[in-house]
Amino acid sequence: RGGPKDLPIAEFYIDDDDSEARRRLKDKPRLVVLGGGWGGVALLKDLDPEAYHVTVIAPTNYFLFTPMLPSATVGTLELRSLVEPIRRILGRVNGHFIRAKADDIEFSDKLVEVSQRDGDGKEVRFYVPYDKLVIAVGSTTNPHGVKGLENAFFLKNIDDARGIRNRVIHNFELACLPTTSDEERRRLLSFVVSGGGPTGVEFAAELYDLLNEDLSRYFPRLLRNEISVHIIQSRSNILNTYDEAVSKYAEEHFARDQVNVMTNSRVKEVQPDKIIFTQKQDDGTLITKELPTGFCLWSTGVAPTALSRTLAKKLGSVQTNRHALETDTHLRLNGSPLGDVYAIGDCATVQNNVADHIITFLRTYAWKQGKDPETVQLHFTDWRRVAQDVKRRFPQASDHLKRLDKLFAEFDKDQSGTLDFGELRELLKQIDNKLTSLPATAQRAHQQGRYLAQKLNKMAQLQDGLAVNDIRDGDLDAAVYKAFEYHHLGNLAYIGNSAVFDLGKGWSIAGGLWAVYTWRSVYFAQSVSLRTRLLMAMDWAKRGLFGRDLIS
Ligand code: FAD
Ligand code: MG
Ligand code: MG
Ligand code: MG
Ligand code: MG
């Protein structure tokens, strides 16, 4: 026992002597990873199997292939095809798994406080010691303070997907009962998606596919015009983090497919049989409306988990971001002892430095023109170039950079038709303040996990071999490896028999089978194992031949 709370310390792993490989790792530095999602698993995949004594702690014992989760809600894919056991993934590094929740971290004692319910439902609590700790606990759904969310469905994990699938099919069955009134049938078949981001949009598209492809086959009694799919979006466009043209395309596509997209609308309350929402009119007034519904999906963005909130509070003023744990550019958690603790994925963000980046850009720009950066005058066309560059480096800024001409006019305080250095800096500072974090995507979590694995491998090599004499200020991270840099590889969304790509430099749309196939193969390539690939391929083949299994 020990630590500030005098809890048992899980110091010894009985299975450390199980095999020769494990015996070799017994005295290696203890690397503890919190979370077995995209970030954690990317790290495990690239870690040198001889370098660390690895322990993963997570309440779920599987990795979930989230990009395909919307497909699983309607039975296009089987749920088991989207998951992979963490213990299998850990095999490569001969690691350990503890199925439990991390609740707190004692940074000075290097202990993670962990809890779990035992077989009798009693809570057990203990510490797990670490030498290096990686926090990769992801995020939770953002409730936005809306009432009645117990009546809504979320889409984060396998249980959620299973719940949605059962409800959708159950509603179809109820709608077919001879005793169901017309009005009740329309309500049961009215599906509402709150949130016009990629998850909401993809779910709507999958649902729509299901309705068109399989419904007439299994439920010939149901009339197509009795079914409705609605997307309620608070912004003025759906997919608003994508290029404007992409969101336009998606909206037109949905309009053609009779998916009802309601923008500038906010859900206020979810009741068991209806949704109450407000809609902003052109003149700025709000109108409150009601929509009878038999199903509501809540997918309006992410919020920090309980652990992230606890840690942010504990670390105090160095953690200023309300949405995620802040790290430095080496992904070290700000405020924790240097080099002990890292944070990656949805739960973390690298401190923004849009302004720094642009100032470097401006220096180069001025230098090329043989001028002093302080005297540079940016015309609108130059500004457009700068903005493109910012968008590419900081995709999360795209939304704030939509009205380029308006921004230019607003910050050209002296109305000279050009932005000087000071004006541009003000503009970028404002954007920087508005930027919350790097995008909460699998793509980013994956890059950070890989980056960290490579760095940890390097560190292990160095410590095994030569002593490091020339580490400045004890900053081993900076001495052995470069800073993390995010490479935006584009956004991608499935919108129903076609896919939209937003590749940063431009956008493209592809319709028809080819696009769908490309869309899927992009995820194929990202997919974690051959097992998963085979299972998915079998699911698609099966669906093509026999349709979806509509049982619940
Ligand atoms: P996660 O993958 O969420 O993993 C978190 C892990 O931490 C889990 O194992 C969890 O059990 C564990 N955990 C939670 N709390 C604790 C705790 N207290 N202690 C220990 N462990 C804990 N991104 C894309 O790039 N492209 C897409 O198409 C895409 N589609 C998506 C579709 C859906 C339906 C969803 C929900 C997400 C989608 N995303 C997509 C986003 C992507 O899934 C996330 O950005 C990504 O999962 C983040 O990885 P992570 O490792 O930070 O967290
Ligand atoms: Mg993770
Ligand atoms: Mg995951
Ligand atoms: Mg998606
Ligand atoms: Mg000016």
What distance in Å separates the CA atoms of residue 425 and residue 345, rounded to the nearest whole number?
29
CA of 418 to the centre of ligand 5 (A): 4
pLDDT higher than threshold 90 for residue 441: no
HEC sequence for 281-343? CCCCCEEEEEEECCEEEECCCEEECHHHHHHHHHHHHHCCCCCCEEECCCCEECCCCCCCEEE
Ligand with minimal distance to 66 CA? 1
Q: What residue type is 19 in one-letter code?
A: S
| pTM exceeding the 0.90 threshold for the entire prediction | no
Ligand 1, atom 30: closest residue by C-alpha: 67
- Which residues have CB under 8 Å from 433's CB, separation 6+? none
Q: Whose CA is nearest to atom 33 of ligand 1?
A: 66
- Summarised one tens digit per residue, pLDDT across range 247-266 is 888 888 888 888 899 999 99
Distance CA 313, CA 129 (A): 22
Q: How far apart are CA 412 and CA 426, in angstroms?
A: 10
Using CA atoms, how far apart are residues 114 and 94, in angstroms rounded to an integer? 22
How remote is the CA of residue 41 from the centroid of ligand 3, in Å?
Answer: 9
Q: Are 535 and 527 in contact (CB under 8 A)?
A: no
Q: Mean pLDDT throughout 442-468?
A: 84
- C-beta of residue 303 within 8 angstroms of C-beta of residue 140: yes
Q: Which atom of ligand 1 is nearest to the CA of 57?
A: 20
pLDDT at 414: 83
Note the maximum CA span of the chain: 82
Mean pLDDT within 432-442 = 73
How far is the centre of ligand 1, averaged over its atoms, from the C-alpha of 463 (Å)? 32
Average pLDDT, the chain: 85
Mean pLDDT of 86-99: 94
Distance, CA 67 to ligand 1 centroid (Å)?
A: 10
Give the residue carrying structure tokens 């698609």. Answer: 540
Q: Is the pLDDT of residue 352 over 70?
A: no
By the 10 Å C-beta count (0-12 exposed, 13-18 middle, 19+ buried), 192 is classed as: buried
Which of the residue ranges 34-38, 59-63, 319-323, 546-550 would you say has the lowest mean pLDDT?
A: 546-550
Report CA(412)–ligand 5 centroid distance (Å). 4
Residue of minimum CA distance from atom 4 in ligand 1:
37
Q: Which residues pair with 190 in a beta bridge?
A: 228
**Tokens matching residue 492:** 């991608």
Residues whose beta carbons lie less than 5 angstroms from ion ligand 5? 412, 414, 416, 418
The encoded tokens of residue 328 equal: 């430095």
Cα 18 to chain center, whole Å? 37
> Which of 75-106 are b and which e, b meaning 16 or more Cβ less than 10 Å from the residue's Cβ?
bbbbbebbbbebeebbeebbbbbbebbbebbb
Burial of 375 (0-12, 13-18, 19+ CB in 10 A): exposed
Cβ atoms 206, 212 nearer than 8 A: no
What spacing in Å lies between the alpha carbon of 395 and ligand 5's midpoint? 26
Mean pLDDT within 146-157: 95
Spell out where 503-539 has E strands. 507-511
| Helix (H) / strand (E) containing 140 | strand 139-141
364: buried, middle or exposed (CB in 10 Å: 19+, 13-18, 0-12)? exposed
* Contact present, 379 and 389 (Cβ < 8 Å): no
Residue 514 is predicted with a pLDDT of 56
Hey, is 154 helix, strand or coil? coil
Pairing assessment for the beta strands 62-64 and 83-85 based on DSSP bridges: antiparallel
- Summarised one tens digit per residue, pLDDT across range 379-424 is 888 888 878 877 776 766 777 777 778 888 888 888 888 888 788 7
* Structure tokens that stand for 81 in this block: 């095809």
Alpha carbon distance 257, 351 (integer Å):
41
| More confident of the two residues 57 and 222 | 57
Q: DSSP state, 2? A: B
Cα(493) to ligand 4 centroid in Å equals: 6
For residue 412, the one-letter residue type is D
Q: List CB contacts of 463: < 8 A, sequence separation 6 or more.
A: 29
Both tokens of 510, joined, read 């592809």
Query: Which is the closest atom of ligand 1 to the Cα of 35?
Result: 7
- 530 backbone dihedrals φ, ψ, rounded to 5°: -60, -35
Evaluated on CA atoms 60, 62, 67, 71, the torsion sign reads negative
pLDDT digits (tens, 9 = 90+) for 127-142: 999 999 999 999 999 9
Mutate to test the pocket of ligand 1, among 65, 66, 142 (most ligand atoms within 8 A of CB): 66
Cα–Cα distance, 367 to 85 (Å, whole number): 54
Ligand 1 binding pocket, CB closer than 6 Å: 34-40, 57-60, 66-67, 69-70, 101-102, 136-138, 155-156, 198-199, 305, 307, 345-347, 440-443, 445
Q: In degrees rounded to 5, what are phi and psi of residue 2? A: 165, -160
| Angle (CA) 462 456 454, round 5° | 105
Q: Scan for tokens 């319910």, then name that residue.
A: 117
Q: What is the mean pLDDT of residues 23-41?
A: 94
Nearest CA to ligand 1 atom 49: 38
Task: Please give the number of the atom of ligand 1 that sits closest to the Cα of 39.
Answer: 51
Q: Nearest residue CA, atom 32 of ligand 1?
A: 67
Ligand 1 centre and the CA of 324: distance in Å?
14
The dihedral over CA atoms of 327, 331, 335, 340, expressed in degrees to the nearest 10, equals 160
Which tops the pLDDT comparison, 308 or 206? 308
